[in-house]
Amino acid sequence: MFTTTYQHFFFATGHAEGATPLNAFDGALLASGIGNTNLIKISSILPPNCQIISPPPAIEPGKLIPVAYGTIFSDIPGERIAAGVAVAIPDNPSLPGVIMEYSSRGHKEEIETIVRGMAEEAFRVRKFPLKEIVSQAVDYVSKGSGAVFAGVVLWE
């Protein structure tokens, strides 16, 4: 059973080429700064009182880290792919926030607009007062085997 209460989060984004889709994904993780960790994919709830931080300069290799993320791969040379994540932060810090992720073909600005809209909608459905939305996105033009990754990492 997990009992850790996460009090922080940070963004991790990256892109890479690889010999295979998995190698490209691995390279995108390395570029994002979390490539030597074990990802625990989470759904989309940010714990109450969670604060944004800068990514730690070094993360213990093999560490289990919870992350909500979007990723996409392309094997079409010249195709632009993008992934983005957005965090809706409540006005009341005792309420949870919401993380949304999205990936598709296109420019990072388009993807970021979409994912921010998703976060806004999640708060509207919950009827939570919104303080702000923070987001990041990444795009990349595939040379033949490219991947992008955008994630929100929960941190102790």
Catalytic residue selected from 17, 23, 32, 44: 44
Query: Phi/psi at 72 (nearest 5 deg)?
Result: -150, 150
Catalytic residue selected from 23, 32, 36, 38: 38
Query: Phi/psi at 28 (nearest 5 deg)?
Result: -65, -40
Examine the residue annotation and report whether 44 is marked as an active-site residue of this protein.
yes
Catalytic residue selected from 32, 74, 101, 103: 101
Examine the residue annotation and report whether 43 is marked as an active-site residue of this protein.
yes
Determine the Cα–Cα distance for residues 83 and 101; give it in Å rounded to an integer: 8
Catalytic residue selected from 43, 54, 92, 94: 43
b/e burial code for range 134-153 (CB count within 10 A of at least 16 → b): bbbbbbbebeebbbbbbbbb
Q: For residue 155, list its beta bridge partners.
A: 8
Examine the residue annotation and report whether 38 is marked as an active-site residue of this protein.
yes
Contact 138, 14 (CB under 8 A): yes
Q: Which residues are catalytic?
A: 38, 43-44, 101
